[in-house]
Amino acid sequence: MAAIATNATALVFAAAAKTSTTSRRAARVAASPALANARVFAAAPRAAFAKSSLRVSVTTRAAAEEGEPYGVFKLNYDISNDVAAKSAGWKTPIVVAVSGAAGQISNHLLFKIASGEVYGADQPIILNLLGSERSKEALEGVAMELEDSLYPLLRQVNIGIDPLKIFKDAEWALLIGAKPRGPGMERSDLLEMNGQIFVEQGKALNEVANKTCKVCVVGNPCNTNALIAMENAPNLDRKNFHALTRLDENRAKCQLALKAGVFYDTVSNVTIWGNHSTTQVPDFVNAKIDGKKAVEVIGDDAWLEEEFTPTIQTRGGALIKKWGRSSAASTAVSIADAIKSLVTPTPEGDWFSTAVSTDGNPYGIAEGIVFSMPCRSKGDGSYEIVEGLEINDWLREKIKASEEELTKEADCVSHLTGKLGGACELQGAGTDTMLPGEN
Ligand SMILES: NC(=O)C1=CN([C@@H]2O[C@H](COP(=O)(O)OP(=O)(O)OC[C@H]3O[C@@H](n4cnc5c(N)ncnc54)[C@H](OP(=O)(O)O)[C@@H]3O)[C@@H](O)[C@H]2O)C=CC1
Ligand SMILES: O=C([O-])CC(=O)C(=O)O
């Protein structure tokens, strides 16, 4: 993690960084007498927080030797004296690691997370931000903006370019960074290039993340990137790997509401099946509007099949044409929604979409891929796949096409997932498939 000096205190601290923890602290105290009375909070690992009193009993030693928390987050104090924290009954801080942290999606998401809107108003957050040589400076800028936002719940920010450090003790890993597809690139090229990133990050998560870490892959092609990360992290529960299809669900809810002439909060039970690509299947068959079947409320099967479905499949591309960039704010909102769906109980009778491992799934989808399905959660971070949805011929055929696409993608990256692979059938003209932003 980077130790970046932003003020006199930090400069003194940075200069002392190669000495012992004790002498570093002495140097900081000398530079800032107010610290003389301060005790440790900033880099205390999660286990150090006693649930009842929020008392911190360890020093920053371990983290300090790897790199310091950013800027103001270096300032140590005793959380047991934090009246606001105590009276609000705050929980133990959690480590949320984010890759592509200097990118445009993160620029929206990080501030939502730090505000308490995502994990709850009683959940202190430690943000670990992963960048690269390319984005080092930009990442500092992001950390500066987080400092300047004065979020009470944001208790520490660490920035760095080494996933082994940034993913340390992560309870959530939001993997957003990925190379965008460039002109003339085959999807298989993108799979290969980004696949390498997710091998490295999967291995790092395996080594240093909390064993119950929940991983949400956003960087495209997100389903297969999630598969690669999952296969490279055998110490983590496969069920805890997700690829983001919540944006597609939100897009589908909006279009159904628009057609029905109702506000979108009346639309429920919307599933996105399959890949976050143009083969995805927005399920209008099981969707509801005001508790009634959407198909009956809308009463226009031709529209649902021939307009609604392709509109959702290609919404990303339509947005890029208008805005000149891919969805960022709405993607960040949907990541927040996806997390909230796992940390709060799903409303009775409803479900949400997330792409998860197909191992043991109740719909007969091929195993060994990451496929979007209807899920429910008790709010403890885990989920179950909702069984018993009606799969009519229309859905069956479309779901099959997305399943075949993901199976081919998995074959293309078999050398990255430790499987004995088949040929990569995505290579060559006419066989290539598209991301939502590529049409
Ligand atoms: N699943 C979904 O619903 C959606 C997914 N997406 C995907 O999310 C990802 C991030 O989008 P967004 O934040 O808008 O993108 P940005 O271009 O703003 O940021 C992407 C980040 O990826 C990192 N990156 C990793 N490897 C490379 C590379 N080889 N070349 C360039 N950048 C790289 C960069 O960070 P660094 O230099 O720090 O590594 C960069 O900051 C994309 O893959 C996009 O397709 C977007 C919208 C919806
Ligand atoms: O293709 C992209 O980068 C954008 C994308 O996934 C989407 O908007 O759904």
Complex prediction ipTM: 0.97
Q: What is the largest CA-CA distance in the chain?
A: 74
Per-residue pLDDT of the chain (439 residues; tens, 9 = 90+): 543 333 322 222 222 333 333 333 333 333 333 333 222 234 333 333 333 333 333 333 334 344 789 988 887 666 666 777 778 788 989 999 999 999 999 999 999 999 999 999 999 999 999 999 999 999 999 999 999 999 999 999 999 999 999 999 999 999 999 987 766 677 778 898 899 999 999 999 999 999 999 999 999 999 999 999 999 999 999 999 999 999 999 999 999 999 999 999 999 999 999 999 999 999 999 999 999 999 999 999 999 999 999 999 999 989 988 988 899 999 999 999 999 999 999 999 999 999 999 999 999 999 999 999 999 999 999 999 999 999 999 999 999 999 999 999 999 999 999 887 667 877 543 444 677 766 5
Closest CA relative to residue 316, chosen from 266, 252, 263: 252
Q: Please give the structure tokens belonging to residue 207.
A: 């080594």
For the CA atoms of 71, 72, 73, 79, the dihedral, rounded to the nearest 10 degrees, stands at 160
Sign of the four-CA dihedral 179, 181, 187, 189: negative
Substitution site in 105, 314, 339 for ligand 1 pocket (most atoms within 8 Å of beta carbon): 105
Residue 265 lies in a domain: yes
Instruction: Give the domain CATH number at 268.
Output: 3.90.110.10
Q: Using the atom order of ligand 2, give the atom closest to the CA of residue 437.
A: 1
Residue 238 lies in a domain: no
Smallest-distance ligand from the CA of 222: 1
Nearest CA to ligand 1 atom 41: 103
Query: What is the structure's pLDDT at 33?
Result: 32
Query: What is the structure's pLDDT at 223?
Result: 98
- How many A from CA of 79 to the centre of ligand 1? 36
Substitution site in 111, 326, 439 for ligand 1 pocket (most atoms within 8 Å of beta carbon): 326
Residue 393 lies in a domain: yes
Closest CA relative to residue 395, chosen from 312, 272, 257: 272
Closest CA relative to residue 282, chosen from 353, 226, 339: 353
Residue 231 lies in a domain: no
Query: What is the structure's pLDDT at 1?
Result: 53
435 lines ligand 2 (CB under 6 A): yes
- How many A from CA of 194 to the centre of ligand 2? 15
Count how many domains the chain has: 1
436 lines ligand 2 (CB under 6 A): yes
State the number of CA atoms in the 13 A half-sphere of 150 facing the CB.
Answer: 0
Burial pattern 200-221, b for ≥16 Cβ within 10 A else e, equals: ebbbbbbebbbeebbbbbbbbb
Q: How far is it, in rounded angstroms, from Cα 100 to Cα 178?
A: 7
- How many A from CA of 188 to the centre of ligand 1? 17
Residue 157 lies in a domain: no
Residue 215 lies in a domain: no
Smallest-distance ligand from the CA of 435: 2
Smallest-distance ligand from the CA of 180: 1
Neighbours of 59 (CB within 10 A): 17
Residue 150 lies in a domain: no
Q: Domain residues for 330?
A: 247-416
Q: Evaluate the omega torsion of the peptide bond into residue 221 and state whether it is cis, within 30 degrees of 0.
A: yes
Q: How far is it, in rounded angstroms, from Cα 202 to Cα 358?
A: 18
Strand order in the sheet with 267-268: 267-268, 288-289, 292-293
437 lines ligand 2 (CB under 6 A): yes
Q: How far is it, in rounded angstroms, from Cα 356 to Cα 370?
A: 5
3-state secondary structure labels for all residues of the chain = CCCCCCCHHHHHHHHCCCCCHHHHHHHHHHHCHHHHHCCCCCCCCHHHECCCCCCECCCCHHHHHHCCCCHHHHCCCCHHHCHHHHHCCCCCCEEEEEECCCCHHHHHHHHHHHHCCCCCCCCCEEEEEECCCCCHHHHHHHHHHHHHCCCCCEEEEEEECCHHHHCCCCCEEEECCCCCCCCCCCHHHHHHHHHHHHHHHHHHHHHHCCCCCEEEECCCCHHHHHHHHHHCCCCCCHHHEEECCHHHHHHHHHHHHHHHCCCHHHEECCEEEECCCCCCEEECCCCEECCEEHHHHHCCHHHHHHHHHHHHHCHHHHHHHHHCCCCCHHHHHHHHHHHHHHHCCCCCCCCEEEEEECCCCCCCCCCCCEEEEEEECCCCCCCEECCCCCCCHHHHHHHHHHHHHHHHHHHHCHHHCCCCCCCCCCCCCCCCCCCHHHC
Q: Give catalytic residue positions.
A: 276
Residue 374 lies in a domain: yes
Neighbours of 268 (CB within 10 A): 18
